[in-house]
Structure 1
Amino acid sequence: MVVVSQKLFLEDCLDDTPQTRAMVDVFERDAAMLKKFSKAFSSSCQKVMNAQVAMISATQEMSYYLRLYGMQNFPLDPSISPSNSNQDLKSQPSEPETLASKLNLFANYVDEISTCFQVFVTQLNDAMIYPLNKLIDSDFDELNSLSKMYQLSSEEEEAVRQKYLRIPNRKEYDQQRVQAGEECYAFKKKFHHTAMNYFSSLNTLQYKRQYMFLEPMMSFIHSLKLFFKMGNETFSCDSSSKIDEFLNNTSSQVCEIKAQQSENMNKTNQLIDLIQQDDSLYYVEQSDSTKNSEPISKTILQKSGYLNLRSRFPFISRWDRSFYFIQNGFLMHQQKTDIAGSAFLELKSDLTVTPCEIDERLFTFQINSQFPKKVVYFQANSNRDRDEWITILENAIKDDNRAKLQSHMSHLKLNNNNPSLMSFFSGRPKGPNIRFELDELLNKSQNELNDKEDQGESFKVRFLGSMNVKSDKGNENINETIRQVMSARAEHNIFKLSEFDLIVNSKSVSLFKVPDSNDENGTSQLNNIDDLYCAKFKLDNIGFWSAHNENEHLFGFIVKDRNQTLKFSCHVFESDVGSKNICDAISKATQQAFKELVDSNRSEHLKLIKQREKEILLANINSLPDKIENGSVENSDIDDDRNELINAAQLAFSSPNPSFVVLDRELLENLSEQDNLTKQNDESVPTENQAHDEEKRSESEA
């Protein structure tokens, strides 16, 4: 047992000798060093507990992400099974097959470990951190306060003693000496009491030194032992066998997957080496020895690849690269970011495909259409690629091959070589009713179609489809409609598109059919404008319009049906120009319509104000009294002026010029001034009797 060898004697505290002061100074320095060490030791203990708290947080986050994997909609992981996410730890299946189920079981084990750490942290905080912090916060603070009181009491006792000793030794100072003696007694007693408490605290600290670090470490070891005991119970014999079985199965599965990965990597490396040995794949033109080794088949009906399309502008021409493929008698084109291909050209029997030379470019060919007259220029990647495209297009144009092509496409299995994105939509549930013809959407009255329209901006568009939506607002409604329409067209092989002229003005959005020249003279069969007029959507019925987020050529707008409550239809179109320009045109048209409506309401409001002012002015003029005196020339002139003002006011109100509204107010002011002048003149004209009386009064005064 440890014995404390050094301590302060309470008997010496009242004497306050230099030796006692020296011993107190030693004890104070020891207490200061002990306090500093205690704070450092407490900080290290706090770090241990913070590490366990961080472990709890980390294990909980790990468990969360292990369960979150099964909730993710990974498109390439069909093994996700939400039913396995709620499996209990003790009810582990014998053969977990999916990755999500295995991760859920690991999450359950991690939760058990996190629980053990939580209990461990609670015990550390109660048995190790709290007592140590209490010792530092209470005992050392109390010792510091006693030290200050000890110094203050010592100074006060010394000052009172010196005051007592300075009193003269005469009889008249006896009373003062008695009072000073009593004061000296009180301060000396106070100093003695404070010194004994201070010495006692310093001595007690020496005893606390012996166990203040032992108790926290004992608590730490006991908590750690209990933590290991809980872990042992968690992985007991009964549960350990299940855990071992689960870990062995998982380990064997991982080894099997790694073996398959290694085998696949070997095959992949061999295939890469084999492909890289053929240098001819990297040349645009093959060598003469291999160029004619494989003749082009005359019976092939399918081909896909990138081609450059020539677009003619007023001064320059541009070549745009797109992906083209043949499907159901149509030449389809698709951008890299498009979700599906769209029809570019119908392969009719009147088409001819021939090589050509244009813009000094290589590997070019052209497609000529007789009805209507049209020439399309393409650029292939090589001579053989151009010849293949020409041969395959000629095969697809032939009438006897069109039926074979449609039959082939109906039984064609989607694979990686298929250029369309129909696999993206396969396996999806059937969507809502989608309409692909614009004529069947509208019940038009002849009077509505014959309304005269103002000239507006015109755009070439192709109608893709329409379907009902839940609301007339929201960009997500238009994007979802575009996706549904493109999916339905790809699923049902509908590639024929109706082309329209879309005219936007401040009243409506109108659609006119583009005439199809099928006769020999190339004239349209639709000679009447009413036959070309297809649909009109008033701007107040169009609730929302937007372009597609990914494809700049697709856009749509939502129309409200006034005849039926809460029925909204979204119409989807495709344009050669950017759809953003069409949406901007509709926005400008709506702004112009709103401005015209505001101007119309303002003009009607001004007319009402003008009419009201006219009525008030005429009422005021007619209510003026007639003050005509006999023999008064001025009143006659005023009456003439009044009549002129009335005639001028009537003339002003009969004029359609709004600037006369200001003149009306001036007339009112002038008329009021004339009335005031009339009253003043009436009051200022003296009678004859009054003048005679004034003369007599002046004579008598003289």
Structure 2
Amino acid sequence: LELLGIRSKYLRPQPVFSKLFLLSLEFLVQHCTPLTTFYLLYILKGQQHNNFLMHSIVPSFVIAGQCISLIGVKIFNVKCYQKQTRCMLKVFEEDAKLLHEYVNQFQDQLESLVAAQKQVAQSMEKLSAFLGSYSRVCFPLALNDLEFPALLEKFQGRICELGSWMNLMVQQLRNCVLYPVNKLLSRLVELENHKDEYDELSDDLNTSLLKLVKLSPKCPAKKVEEIGTEYGLMRQRFHQAGLNYFTLLNLLQYQRRIAVVEPLLSLMYAYRSFFRMGNQCMSHDEELDDFFTRVQEQIQSFHIEQQAYGQSTQDYMKTVEEIGRLQPDIYYAEGSPLDKFTAEKNPVRHKRGYLFFKSKTALLTKWDRIYFYTENRNLVSQGRDDIASQILLEIDNTVHASFADHEERRYCFSIGCANAEFKKQFIFQAICEKDCREWIEAINYISQHGNESPYRESLSTVENTSPPTEPTPDNNSTSERAFGGKYDNSSVISFGATTTTPIQFDMLNWSDEEELPTDTTLLSSSEEEMQMMNTFEVKFLGCMEVENDRRETTAHDAIRQVLQARMVHNIIRAVDMKMLLAGKPADQLRLLHPDSGRLKARFAMVDLVYWTSHANNERVLAFTVRRRGRKEGGKNLFICYVLESTGCEAASEICDAIAESVKTALQSFPINTPS
């Protein structure tokens, strides 16, 4: 039992220094193999043995009279010992079987770990090779960018170095982690082979024993001798196989600890070496630290630029949303209903945009959407997928454009060439009537006037337009402070090529050099007069000079130009104001700062000549102010102010309040006052 490494809890250990045991040991030392002797010496080394083992081992050597192993005697020479030994052997075999299954699973886990680490190393190598291929890709937007490929090459070198470290660690894991486990598995396979051999010899021994016991007393001596010799050889072979088998079972108890602990130790050591190598190479490299610092600074600058671009994009989107809210018909194909009443001051001399071009192939008619533009007396076209543009038609004095009313589609026009060598007619379709009219006007203008540049002429017109001179202060009206007097050029913009009238987007304060007006008439008003005042919260969108005071289209055209100018110039901010309609005796429309109450502008009610709300936006309104004798020759100057209601009142309600205030002021206005 001690040789098997098993102690039974039912057997009490006792000292075994008896003479009988020493005689048995002396016999084993003289006749047994060194391996068996080694195990017996190990038994004597400070161990305690049970009395059952001592009394069962000695008679076996005395009776056998030959070299027989210790375990073989315990199994076959003592009947009671044979039964218990076989039970203990089954325990060992069951333990070896479970150990074999566990080691197989342990090997699978370690192989999975090594395979994953190998895959990481291969992925690092592939990533390094992929980064190197960036310079070979012809990006259309990065042809002149040499800094970014150089940066990727540096990363490629570092990643390749990391991949080599990982490959080294994979080799270390294979040699130091998987090898002990594979060795233990080979020992377990060898143990199974010995088990099969042991079982086979056990069956042969039983067969030989049955032959021996079946001999009759009358059997010849020669036959008895042959069967006895056969039985002795079978016992010798069986005991030798049993000794080897039991020895492997005992060795397995040590190998199971070595084969499980050693791979884990090697695994930790391999990772420690890998991390230590990385720490030494990454932490003490000044060049690498500088490289990391530069890259982080570049990334930070990219983040700042990205945030700035995102902010500008958000501002632009807010502007578009604001314009869409103030002028909801801007996205319509037909445009605003007021566009047909708007007369352009200058003719359209050049045009560009998408048109539907009619073409015929056999019996089929196609309308293709193509981009057209006029350049150097040529009508140039470019398809959606075309890289370059091509000249469709040379616009000379024989070319004429007109409406094509005979077509089944709307807004069609034709361009015909009537020279002697070439006669051709092209049919186009615009998206709206205004676009169609502008194309016809541009083609006819180029045909008649040639290569005159409308942009250069328009620019010279704007540059030659000087701002109005500062007028003499008027005691009854201070509207010149809001427009046409001292103003900041940054808040006045000349819009487009079709108008030279400046548009002001900020309501200026009174000059600091002059004394602020005191509202003595307003402050001295009684409580009854105070009830005649109306207050509205508005935003100042812009103002511009207009030609006349009574036409409805004039005010609507001013609203359209102000809103369109705000969208073109990306103006989001609008000046918050408080509109005050003061009754008697002031009879004024005042624009005040909403917080400080500072006076921005004031107008006499009798100078308000026209007011109206926007046709499509119920929050936008405009009113026209007359400034007497401010033009050359003593003519009146008319300025249209565009506002947006930010309170609960609609624009039409504010216009009704203005109308009521003006009506009240005109009733008390002297008859002899000049108009």
Normalised TM-score (structure 2) = 0.53
Deviation readout 1:105-124 (Å, 9 max, x if unpaired): 22222122222212211111
Deviation readout 1:537-594 (Å, 9 max, x if unpaired): xxxxxxxxxxxxxxxxxxxxxxxxxxxxxxxxxxxxxxxxxxxxxxxxxxxxxxxxxx
Partner of 2:86: 21
- One-letter amino acid matched to 1:178: E
More divergent stretch after superposition (261-270 vs 59-68): 59-68
SS at match of 2:157: helix
Q: 1:306 to 1:296 in 2, by over 3 A?
A: farther
Deviation readout 1:393-445 (Å, 9 max, x if unpaired): 112223x514869x99xxxxxxxxxxxxxxxxxxxxxxxxxxxxxxxxxxxxx
Partner of 2:148: 99
1:360 matched to 2:391: no
1:201 shift after superposition: 0.9
Structure 2 unpaired stretches of 5+? 8-38, 40-52, 54-68, 77-81, 458-675
Deviation readout 1:658-681 (Å, 9 max, x if unpaired): xxxxxxxxxxxxxxxxxxxxxxxx
Q: 1:105 to 1:325 in 2, by over 3 A?
A: same
Q: 1:141 to 1:363 in 2, by over 3 A?
A: same
- One-letter amino acid matched to 1:108: G
- One-letter amino acid matched to 2:70: E
Deviation readout 1:295-349 (Å, 9 max, x if unpaired): 174362x322122233457777543322222233332222211222223222232
- One-letter amino acid matched to 2:202: S
1:40 shift after superposition: 1.6
1:125 matched to 2:174: yes
How many Å separate the matches in 1 of 2:71 and 2:120?
A: 55
- One-letter amino acid matched to 1:6: I
SS at match of 2:437: helix
Aligned sequence identity (%): 25
Q: 1:230 to 1:315 in 2, by over 3 A?
A: closer
Contact 2:355 2:431 in 1 (8 A): yes
Normalised TM-score (structure 1) = 0.51
SS at match of 1:286: coil
1:206 matched to 2:261: no
SS at match of 1:396: helix
SS at match of 1:210: helix
Deviation readout 1:89-120 (Å, 9 max, x if unpaired): xxxxxxxxx22222222222212222221221
SS at match of 1:385: helix
- One-letter amino acid matched to 2:241: T
1:224 matched to 2:271: yes
Q: 1:224 to 1:294 in 2, by over 3 A?
A: farther
Contact 1:70 1:80 in 2 (8 A): no
1:44 matched to 2:109: yes
Contact 2:71 2:239 in 1 (8 A): no
Of 273, 288, 305, the match for 2:353: 305
1:154 shift after superposition: 0.5
- One-letter amino acid matched to 1:352: H
5 Å-filtered alignment, 1:284-299, equals 284-293=333-342, 295=344, 297-298=346-347
1:152 shift after superposition: 0.4
5 Å-filtered alignment, 1:235-634, equals 235-237=282-284, 239=285, 241-276=286-321, 277-278=323-324, 279-293=328-342, 295=344, 297-298=346-347, 300=349, 302-312=350-360, 317-370=365-418, 371=420, 372-398=422-448, 400-402=449-451
Partner of 1:32: 97
Of 214, 220, 227, the match for 1:166: 214
- One-letter amino acid matched to 1:42: Q
Partner of 1:191: 238
Q: 1:272 to 1:236 in 2, by over 3 A?
A: closer
Give the length in aligned residue pairs: 384
Of 112, 118, 131, the match for 1:53: 118
Contact 1:4 1:207 in 2 (8 A): no
- Following superposition, which runs of at least 4 residues in structure 1 exceed 6 angstroms of deviation? 313-316
- One-letter amino acid matched to 1:132: V
How many Å separate the matches in 1 of 2:84 and 2:245?
A: 16
Contact 1:324 1:333 in 2 (8 A): yes
Partner of 1:71: 136
Q: 1:244 to 1:336 in 2, by over 3 A?
A: same
Q: 1:280 to 1:40 in 2, by over 3 A?
A: same
Q: 1:65 to 1:79 in 2, by over 3 A?
A: farther
- One-letter amino acid matched to 2:379: L
1:250 shift after superposition: 1.6
1:80 shift after superposition: 3.4
1:158 shift after superposition: 0.5
Deviation readout 1:482-513 (Å, 9 max, x if unpaired): xxxxxxxxxxxxxxxxxxxxxxxxxxxxxxxx
How many Å separate the matches in 2 of 1:306 and 1:380?
A: 8
